[in-house]
Amino acid sequence: FAFGLFTPNGYTHDMFEFATLPDGPSVTIWGWDPWWPNPPWSTYLLRTLLDNESFRNNFINQFADLLNTTFEPDEVLNTVDEITDLLADEMPDHTARWGSNVSTWNNNVDILRNFVFYRNAFVWSHMQSHFNLTGTYQIFLNQSGGGGSINVNSISINDFPWQGQYCDLIPIQIKAVPDPGYRFVEWSGLDSTSSTLIVNVDDDTTFTAIFEPVDGDSSAIVINEINYNSASEFDVQDWVELANNTGFTIDLSGWQFKDSDDSHIFVIPEQTILENGEFIVLAEDTTIFNDYFPDAGNVVGNLNFGLSGGGELIRLYNPDGDLIDQVTYDDDDPWPIEADGEGPTLELINPNEDNALPIHWSASDGYGSPGEINTSYLSNIEQAWNPVEFKVYNNYPNPFNPITTLSYDLPENSFVNITIYNLLGREVRRLINQTQDAGFKSVIWNATNNQGNPVSAGLYLYQIRAGKYVQTKKMLLLK
């Protein structure tokens, strides 16, 4: 209590035992409860929770995290010294007004420093004794490539090398988190390319995360599922799911989700990591959402705003304010109308396709698939569907400014050529000139020519050749 000011050698006090006694010390003070200060009811919750192995391990790890950071002796001594320096000039006037003297104050500050110096080691010893642990070990963390951080349980580490102490055979989680523009490669000396390790050892161990720059960016984080109007019998509130198709881990900390109202902003919390191929749900109300979908996995919120039941624009921005993805959904055809209050969600049929086009969305099975591969995508895989004939769809949108998508069905593996022409028949842009596998295909034209320069407004022709098939259609570019 009070950093040892009122209790000589207070740094030796075992708070683990004190806080978990089933019948606290029988002391009556000023007529208070004779079980003061820890009557049985006051320690019951903690004692009972510690009977659960998962809670017990998390409790031990959280305590260790704090001892390695906030309550690390040098950290606490720095705080004591900062406050001492702040107050020192005031102490002569203070003691003259209220009694005592500066020498006594300095002695008390030394008592605080003495407590800080010794307390950390005693807490480690008390924790080992209370939980019957065999000992502790040191972990040494480093990184190579200069493109990421490492999380240990609740700690985010950015300065390397780093050293921490943990308890023998209590599993800890170590996670490599690449910076934007980098990807995690592997752990040096370990046969593992997983960015997350569960470590359960009793010897000093070194972990070095290797990062490298990647060709690509975070633009493949896509809006993958939308629940904008729940069924009355399954009112889970509004939610949106994001999918990571980048090929590497993305730190979503500080990203922003908005609807069509710029004042509606949800900032994704710090330490929100999305692995390649994984999903995260942004929920209007996380408590309600988790009641309906307790196994959805990554869920963050609360959005504190809902989505329009009549359709609207929703947007995703990175911390630099760059627009990463946007979808303007609707509750009318050609968008799936079943998602408007009947129970299903809007699901992107394939997260690798252009989610701006309604033909790439379908109504989900049941009430959606948050945190999982979309049911419509699985259905397509199970059917192993291939088109039976060559078909070119109308570009969408049309008219457009400046981006439109050309889609087509390819019934067999073919050499495909897609070329844009002006009305004089001159080639403007060659989009595709390669062999493609059978299936549904699409390509985006951004209204630029082969030199990358924007073209003028007007009518253009696009011609798709695949084997013996040739088809030409018109599109209108507005400016």
Question: Any idea what the CATH number is for the domain that residue 170 is in?
Answer: 2.60.40.10
For position 50, what pLDDT does the model report?
94
Q: What is the total count of domains within the chain?
A: 4
Domain with 182, as residue range(s), is 136-213
Q: Is the pTM higher than 0.75? A: no
For position 263, what pLDDT does the model report?
92
Domain match, 127 and 140 both: no
Domain match, 209 and 241 both: no
Given 131, 146, 162, the domain boundary residue is 131
Average pLDDT over residues 129-158: 91
Q: Give the model confidence (pLDDT) of 169-209 as tens digits.
A: 899 999 888 876 677 888 988 877 788 888 888 889 999 99
Q: Give the model confidence (pLDDT) of 405-425 as tens digits.
A: 888 888 888 999 999 999 888
> With contact defined as beta carbons under 8 Å apart, do 217 and 360 qualify?
no
Residue 226, token pair as written in the block: 């939308």
Question: Any idea what the CATH number is for the domain that residue 455 is in?
Answer: 2.60.40.4070
Q: Give the model confidence (pLDDT) of 205-238 as tens digits.
A: 999 999 887 654 555 789 999 999 999 889 999 9
Tell me whether residue 5 is in a domain.
Answer: no
Q: Give the model confidence (pLDDT) of 345-400 as tens digits.
A: 999 887 767 788 888 898 888 888 898 877 765 444 334 445 677 888 878 777 77
Instruction: Determine the Cα–Cα distance for residues 305 and 266; give it in Å rounded to an integer.
Output: 9
For position 309, what pLDDT does the model report?
82
For position 383, what pLDDT does the model report?
43
> With contact defined as beta carbons under 8 Å apart, do 5 and 11 qualify?
no
Instruction: Determine the Cα–Cα distance for residues 148 and 390; give it in Å rounded to an integer.
Output: 47
Domain match, 228 and 270 both: yes
Tell me whether residue 378 is in a domain.
Answer: no
Tell me whether residue 118 is in a domain.
Answer: yes
Domain match, 102 and 31 both: yes
Distance linking the first and last C-alpha atoms of the chain: 73
Domain match, 64 and 166 both: no
Domain match, 206 and 230 both: no
Domain match, 343 and 436 both: no
Q: Give the model confidence (pLDDT) of 2-14 as tens digits.
A: 677 777 788 898 8
For position 26, what pLDDT does the model report?
58
Domain match, 117 and 28 both: yes
For position 284, what pLDDT does the model report?
95
Domain match, 356 and 411 both: no
